[in-house]
Amino acid sequence: MKEPLVSVVVPTRNSEKTIGACLDSIKNQSYWNIEIIVVDNHSTDHTCDIARLYTEKVFLAGPERSAQRNDGASRASGDYLLFPDSDMVLTEDVVKDCVERILESPDVLAVVIPEESFGEGFWSDCRRLERLFYRGVDWLEASRFFKKDAFLAMGGYDLRNTGTEDFDLPQRIKAHYGAGSTSRIVSLIYHNEQRRTLVEACTTNYYYGHALDAYLSVEANRENFRKQQSVLQRYRLFFSDPRMLFRNPAIGFGVLFMKVCEFGAWGTGFLTAKFKSILRRKGSAAGQDRSGKIRILSLLWHSSYGVITAGGFKRTFEIFNRTSDEFEVLAIDNSPTFLSGLDNDNVTVIEYHFPKFFAWLEQKYFLLERLLEWLLMPIYVLFICLRLKMEGERFDVVLVPSSEIIPALLAGVFARFLFRARLILTNLNIQLFSPLVKRAVVSLHNRSHLVITISNDLAAKLEESGVRVPIVITGVGLDTDYIASVLEGGEFEKEYDAVFVGRHIMAKGVVDLIEAWNIVTRRIPGAKLLTIGSCDPDHRAIIDAKVDEYGLGDNVIIKGAVDEKAKFEMIKHSKICLFPSYVEGWGIVPLEGLACGLPVIVYDLPVYAENAKPCTAVFAVPLGNWREMAEKAIELLEGDRYMEYEVAAEVYPVGPDWNEVAAGDFRAIEDTLLK
C-alpha cells in the first residue's frame, strides 16, 4: 500500500504530565510514515525536554492553540495533517485508518476520529459519560485529520478562535466542499482529563466564551451553533438514552449539573467580552441616582402553576402591589410570573423561561425536573443581572422574598456583590432542611444585611440556627374584607365535610390527612374531604396510593390549585378545616378557615400561640397524632356540632392587614439603607 507522509502536529503548554503518553502513542502507530512536530507555547515545565526525546522538530509559537497548529502545519512535509492535543492518546490504527479512508474516497478531505475520555475523580467520570453520548453526532464531533492542500486552501485555523477552532475549520471545509468532504473512522482517540475539577471546567469555558463572537461571524458555523449552544438540545441528547445516563445516578446527575455550569460559564465569557466596552462607557453612570427612588431588585422562583400556590408567593404579591412611589421594584421571575395580576406602576417584571420540554419532564421525572429548574435558575438570573449591570442599571437593595428557596438565595448573594447593594432576605421557613443543608443556608443568610420574617417563633428558630444578622418581624396579612366580599350574599351549602388547603407535600401532613380521614369514614361512611392546593406528580402518586389502599376514592376530592375567589368559596362550602401541617412559619390557612366561619383542627405548633390558637374554634392536637385529629373531626361533624363555632370563628381573625405588613417591609428596607 502507498504510504504518504503524515505530519502529526501537537500543540503544548506545560504538558509534562501528558505529553509522553501522547507521543508514545504516535510513535507506536501501525502506520510507519509519520513525522512528529511539537509546537510549544513557552512552557515553564519540562514539556520541551520530554518532546525532544521523541522528535527533533520542537518549535516555539503562540499565543494560542490555533496559532501553534498553523505554525506546525507551515513546517510540515506531509501530504496529510493530524492535530491531536497533548493530553490525547491515539489507539494504534488511527493514522492508518484515516489515510485509508481518504485514499478510498478521493472526495474526502477531513476525517472525524471519535474520542473517549478517561481520568481520575468524579468530574472526569462525568466527562467520560458525556462524551459517550456524542459518538456519531456530527454537530458535536470535529475532524482532526486533513488533507494538507485543503487545510491550506481554507487558511488553516482561524486565529480569532480559542476553544471553538476544532469546530470552525471542519465546518468551513464542509460548507465549501460539500458534506461528502468529511468522513469518519472507528478507531478511537482517548482524551486524558486527568483529575478534572468543576471549577477548572467552568474557568476553561468562561475563557472560550470570549471567542464566540469570532466563531459566529463565520456563516458556516451558525447552523451548528444553534444546536451547540442549546441546553435543550444537549439534554435531549442525554435523555435519548436514560438507562445509560442514569446507570450510575450520581454520575448522571453530575453530567446534567456540569453542563449547566459550563454553559453558564461559556455564556458569561461571551457576554463579558461582547459588552466590555459598554461596561467602560457606562460604568461612571451606574452609581448615579436617576429617578430619586429607592431601587429594589427582587429575585424570584416559583412552581409553574397559573395561580399563586403558596403563602410566601401570596405575601410577595400583596406587598409588591402596595409599592409606594418612593420605591421602584424590578422583579426577575420565571414564566408565567405569579405577579402578572399586579396593579402597580412602580413594579416591573422580567420573566425568564425554562425549556418547553420541562413541562413534559415534570410529569415523567418530577424530582429531576425540579432539580434542573433549581440548577438553571441562578444561571438565568446571573445572565439577566449581568445584562442589567452592563446597561448601567444600579440598585440600592437586592431583595429575595423567599430566601428558603435556595437558588433564589444563591442568586441574591451574587447580585449583592455585583451591584454593591444591600441584601435583604425574607425567610418564611428554616425548618425544611437537613442539618447539613441548614448550615449552608444559614451561612448564606449571614451574608445579608437584614432578614425579614413573619413570626416570633420563626425569628427564634432563625437565631437558634445561627443567623446573626438583624432580624425584623413584620408578619402576614389577612384580607378579611376581600374574603367577606367573596362570601357576601352567597348561599353556601355544605358540600364537603372537611377541607384542607396547602401544598400537597409531606411537611404539610398530606399522608396524615388521609390516615385521619380513613378513621372518619369508618364512623361517617359518606364523609367527603376536599383538598385544595398544588400537587406534584410524585406526591400525587403517594396520595392516590393511600386513597386506593383505604378505598376512599369516593370520599377524597383532590381539586388542585385554584384562584383566591374559588378557594374561599370552596372553604365556605365545607364544614370544618383540617390542617395537619408539621412546619409553619405563620400558618395562614387556619386563619383563612376561621374567616370563612369554619372550626379548625391543627397540629399543635408553637407559632399558633401567636395567631390562631387563642380562638375557641381552633382545636390543637399533639403533633403527628392523626388519630386524635380524626376523633376531634368526628366529634365536630356528628350532630353538626361544627355549627356552634361559626360565629366565634368568623369574628376572631385579627392582626395586621396587608397595608400594615407592606409598610413594615418597606420601612425595614429604608432603615437598613440608613444604617
Could you report the per-residue pLDDT of 600-628, keeping only the tens digit for each? Answer: 999 999 999 888 888 889 999 999 999 99
Extents of the domains making up the chain: 6-195, 284-477+664-670, 480-651
Contacts of 567 (CB under 8 A, 6+ apart): 501, 532, 592
Below-50 pLDDT ranges, the chain: 277-290, 306-308
Cα–Cα distance for residue pair 510/540, rounded to 1 Å: 10
The DSSP bridge pattern shows strands 80-82 and 143-147 to be antiparallel
Cα–Cα distance for residue pair 435/440, rounded to 1 Å: 9
Contacts of 89 (CB under 8 A, 6+ apart): 21, 22, 24, 25, 189, 190, 192
Residue with cell 445516563: 245
pLDDT of residue 228: 82
Question: Under a CB-based contact definition with an 8 Å cutoff, are residues 65 and 165 in contact?
Answer: yes
Q: Which amino acid is at 526?
A: G
Strand partners, 458: none
Tell me, letter by letter, the H, E, C secondary structure of 294-355. EEEEEECCCCCCCCCCCHHHHHHHHHHCCCCCCEEEEEEEECCCCCCCCCCCCEEEEEECCC
CATH superfamily of 480-651: Glycogen Phosphorylase B; (3.40.50.2000)
User: Under CATH, to which class is 6-195 assigned?
Assistant: alpha beta
Quick one: which of 560, 594, 563 has its CA closest to 577?
Answer: 594
Q: Say which DSSP state 355 is in.
A: -
Quick one: which of 299, 264, 265, 270 has its CA closest to 376?
Answer: 264
Question: Which runs of E-coded beta strand occur in 42-79?
Answer: 58-60
* Grid cell at residue 413: 448573594
284-477+664-670 and 480-651 share one fold: yes
pLDDT of residue 288: 38
Spacing of C-alpha 655 from chain mean position: 37
pLDDT of residue 221: 82
Cα–Cα distance for residue pair 567/483, rounded to 1 Å: 10
pLDDT of residue 361: 81
CATH superfamily of 284-477+664-670: Glycogen Phosphorylase B; (3.40.50.2000)
pLDDT of residue 294: 93
Q: How would you label 146-177 residue by residue, b for 16+ Cβ within 10 Å and e otherwise?
A: bbbebbeebebbbbbbbbbbbbbbbbbbbbeb
pLDDT of residue 148: 93
pLDDT of residue 195: 87
Question: Under a CB-based contact definition with an 8 Å cutoff, are residues 259 and 155 in contact?
Answer: no
pLDDT of residue 285: 41
pLDDT of residue 304: 66
pLDDT of residue 392: 81
CB neighbour class for 558 (10 Å; exposed up to 12, middle 13-18, buried from 19) = middle
Cα–Cα distance for residue pair 133/143, rounded to 1 Å: 17
pLDDT of residue 347: 94
The DSSP bridge pattern shows strands 88-90 and 189-195 to be antiparallel
Could you report the per-residue pLDDT of 335-347, keeping only the tens digit for each? Answer: 888 898 888 999 9
